[in-house]
Structure 1
Amino acid sequence: MVHGNADKMHILTKTYVLFLWMHLLTFVKSQDCTLEQFLNSRAYDSNFDIIGLEASYAGGKQVRVGCNVGYTGFFKLICVEGKWQTRGNKCQPKSCGHPGDAQFADFNLAEGDDFVFGSKVVYTCHKGYQMVSRTNFRRCMAEGWDGVVPVCEAQQCPVINVASNVQIIGDPEEANYGNVVRFRCKSSSEVLEGSAEMYCDENGEWKGKAPICTEIKCTVPVIENGFVPGDLREYKENTVLNFQCDPQYKPAEERLSKCIKVGPKADWSPTPACEPIRCELKLPALTGTRYEPASRSVFSPGDTIRVVCGEEHWIVNEQTTSVESTCQSDGIWSIRPICQEVICSNQRDPLVYSWDVYRNEKKKLGDKVYYTCRWGYEATNSDHRATCTRDGWTPKPLCRGTRCDKPDIANADITYNNKWEYRNSEQVQYTCRIGNQNTFTITCNGGVWTGIKSCSECPKAAVPNGFVVGPHKDKLYYTCNEGFKLSTKGWWGEAKCVGGVWSGLEQCIDKRLCGEPPVIPNGKALGRFQQAQSLQIICNEGYLAENEELTCHNGKWHPTALSLKTICRPIADHCSPPTKVENAVVLTSYQKEYVSDSEVTYKCRDKFIMEGEDTIRCKNGQWEDKDIKCIPYCDKLSNEKLSMNFTSDKDRYMNGDVIEYECVIPDAAAEGTATCTDGKWIKTVECKVKPCPLPDATPNGIYKIIEGEDFVFGTTIQYVCKKGYHLVGKDTLTCSLDGWTDRTPTCQQITCEIDVMHPGLTAIGLPSGRETLEVGHTLRFHCSNEYQLDGSKEIECLETGQWSAPFPTCSEKCKVPRLPDNISFTPGASSRLLLKGQKLTFRCRRPGHFIQGNATVECLASGQWSASIPTCGNPVGCGKPPHLENGDTKETIRFQHRHNEKVEYVCQNVYTMEGGPFMTCTNGNWTGQIRCLKPCTVDEDAMSRHNIRFRHTWEKKLYSPHDDAITFSCSDGTRHDGTLEMRQKCINGVIHLPTCQ
């Protein structure tokens, strides 16, 4: 019983365990994790590779999830109680690292955010370089960057070919972007025509055109206020330009403008230019001179001033103290506007023996000098004193002769009292050798002959010891026989009849005698030189004779001591050029030496003023010792930015002058002083300048400072719009005390308006609904089949807001009509529609028929034919042929002629036929042009009267019209217009004679 129970218990226990295991198995099955759970969870993304994963996993199962291609990561799923737990990191794109730099190129990331799987970089070559690789990009793949780093090579320009006379500096064969080649001519006698240099641009093209070397030539320049006379437009090297200035203008330079090589080009040097003609006055005026008006210093041609001199000064001459001077067209005063001090010459009169004046002594108005006269002369003033007056030394003359030399009167002989010397009051009688042989008497009066008369009319000339040729008109020519010579230097002479006397008729003297005295520098020889043995030497003012006479020896004049060049030496030594004064120039042209008593005047440069006198005088080889200085000065203190307040009423401040001022914008040191120092202002305080707010920017534009700086008072800015936009408003603004002077401008886009389209016209590139298009937009046009395009096929919107050409129109084509079988036209039309300007020419198919109407019609712009289409009809005959003036028909006149029948004409005798000789009957009308023209005859009498002759000896007297021509010339060789001859044709009986002077 117990055993049975035990078995029963064992069976129950097994049943329970089996039940419990089955229950547990059912529970565990319900705790699995599924793939769907993972796909729907936040942990999942598309970068995971789920291929190969099972639909579910039992609890406790660990599953490793891989990544798609190009991604990497370590990720694990763990199934716990039916839920997934995650470990590790999600899949991330693989990194490819740096894609690699390309020489002469940059790259940018075109796709992706970093150098990871799927990203793309694009390479761009630098300016002047080109991509030689097949691709310009790289992509980040699972295995890294694909492809290779692209290669950029420099753009290379083609070889430059130039002429053999052009030299190239640089390498013209292997030039890369940025390389520059320069050109010059191998020959110095040629100039470069074209660009002096070319550079290789970023597109591998040379900028500029290869030059050529040509002969040095200059074209006629454009001269403002001037012109170049004549028709010559081009000048050769070293040719002088003869240009003229307009009235009131003069050449800017005294040097002549020549065509020369200036650098690589041919140009005029100096540059021809005209400047206004001006006359200047030096203010203040020199001592003893004043001007009316006195307020101006610069005058134009035609302006006048009055020059007024002091009591001891003169102008024009010593008697004049006031004069009106006019500014002339050459910029020179008609009268030099400077008064001179009345000074009498200190040179001794030739008739004065003793002269109480030192060599360098200056004698002024009213001064008196004691003097005595030479032998044979007496003083005209009893006290022997000469007075300096405005007329020079008085009395005049100082010495009066007591004797007279024998006078030499042309064409007259002494008939009473013939001797070499005469006393005062003695008389001599002369008789003329020509004409009515008049007799007259002359008297010696104070050493001077009075009563001399002229023997008029020129008699037959005779030259003793020589011969005369002529006279020819009023001149004769003469020379001397062997052993004789003229008193002048030449071997022949010319004489002219003046008032009955042969002027210039010299004597022939023995070769052993001396003739005309030589030229003495700074002096002259006095006396009758014919047959004289000596002559007195008189030197010019400022010079003294080292030898008082010339002597004749063997037919030549000789000084007894010195050479002719030094016989008159300066009374006082000459001065060398005046010393240089710093910051000044001398107002006369440069000389190597200056005579005693000459003056020079200095003038200071701009911004400097003269201290002391400005004029020095040369005295016996030395310049006056004067302390001439040019000291700097300051102009008004500049206050352009209105940053200071100060009082100043002077235009010029000297060294050391001080101005006090205060700043407009207060500062710690708002007051200061400015001191004029060496021509510049030295300020103790620099005043600040009132600023303006930063200027506003304008969309699609920029601004830049064009004057001043830092946006303070006085600064000016300029706005500029970018391409395709135009400025609305004022483009410049200036910072003033009240801020910017104007409103900020705006940049509006430039557009072109679309015109109304012509019917039948279609535009390609025209967006629908648009009324305007932007700059650079292009339109292409075409017309429908029945129309033709008139105008441009393509137009572009320009930066001016205008189209590059007007909108085209469409005009109708001409329709070719259907024609009857008896008429055809050429050329044959492949289309029944023709364009304007095309023509059709019609003909009749049947023999003997003719076109009725216009045989040729043209297609007009209106689409209509220029005339009606013709028809073919039977031909019509003609009546009597027309009359020919000066001609007739060759055969008997008939009154009826058939279509296409011809009639021959002939002209009357000597008449020439033009055209013909036939006229043709054409469908009822005579056709053909015939004229009988009259020949030409030459009136030789008229030619003789008008000083005209034949140019060639074979010229004839009868000429045919239009064919024959005759060549005339003037008997004196030149026509009125300067030509030598003129060729004239015979025109219907008329030959025009030329006009001679």
Structure 2
Amino acid sequence: MTGASTVACQNGTWTELPKCKGKGGKCGPPPVIENGDLLSFPMQEYPQGTTLEYKCPSLYVLEGSQYITCTDGQWTSPPVCLGRLKHVLLACAASEEDMGRNNVELKWVTGRKLYVRSGDVIEFQCKRGYLEDPASSPFRAQCTEGTIEYPRCKPGNETCGPPPEVAGGKVQGVKKSRYLPGESARYQCWQGFEMTGASTVACQNGTWTELPKCKGKGGKCGPPPVIENGDLLSFPMQEYPQGTTLEYKCPSLYVLEGSQYITCTDGQWTSPPVCLVACAASEEDMGRNNVELKWVPERKLYVRSGDVIEFQCKRGYLEDPASSPFRAQCMEGTIEYPRCKPGRNCTVRQSAMERNNIQLPSSSRSSTSIYRSGDYISFECKWWYRPVSHSGKVRAECLDGVVNYPTCERFFG
């Protein structure tokens, strides 16, 4: 033997191990490797310079040299047999669905789905019309044990939605759902209406330049504006006299923003309302982000646009530092879900309980001693001991693998 014959556990690792060298340069039995086999019958002693070969079974990959050699009384490092099946399960798939949810796409690859090995890095970029979210995770994401931390992009301010409706007129041609900076649209007024202002509008910094106005002759108004997802509570006509008032209504699960009435004033309608779609916090989306509703035990929750929903991490998970806020606001039918990451389990250790003069209640001793992050663990003081805490509570929370054990002291009353 060379080195100390005794080793100690320090900070979770063993101090330096001793080495056993064969006398006269000879080696003892070769190392046994997990999931692997030696291609010869093992002996108790081998002469200097002997070389042996290992082999891994089917579905395993040999890592390192397949040969070991007896050198100066010791064997060189043996190989390791890694399970192929395990490596397949730990691979990552960058899917179109997940990328679409975060408004990103692959930077260098044009495929809809990309498989990479654990440890590989994928580069993402924002989709056209979107900008990098300052609170996003990095755009060079590493595959870690089958999981990719996707970056996020938010809608860019440089694009515009469809040009708005104007009372007494319409947009020429077919309206698009999205316009790039500098793109334009042209308006025309209904027959019997006169236009004031430029007939062409342009998309600039995410908004349209000033819209034209179509004024009816003699103070009359044309057909009322059409609002998305809303209905007029009367049959529309081609012409309305000055002072006419009309009413709009939004369907179920939509919220009317603005006044529900419009009035014909000096040949133009006052501003119409907007119907904002509600949000649905679904079990599927919450499960994908490892969160649940904080105050409501529902699997699905509908809220109006502008309302706030509070989330919390599911049992066994912790808040992701790069997550969006856990108080999420419904914005035009969309919820920005927060995210939680898996937390480490806790093991109740007998030595720690002895040190703190506590024990598990008799009802808990037969159950498992493994607790998930976020679980509360109830203890009790040993006989003739009382809690040190003024609150009298003898319980602790498992926080990402750590238990802050309560303490009891000897009672001499």
TM-score (norm 2): 0.30
TM-score (norm 1): 0.14
Higher relative contact order (CA 8 A, sep 6+): 2
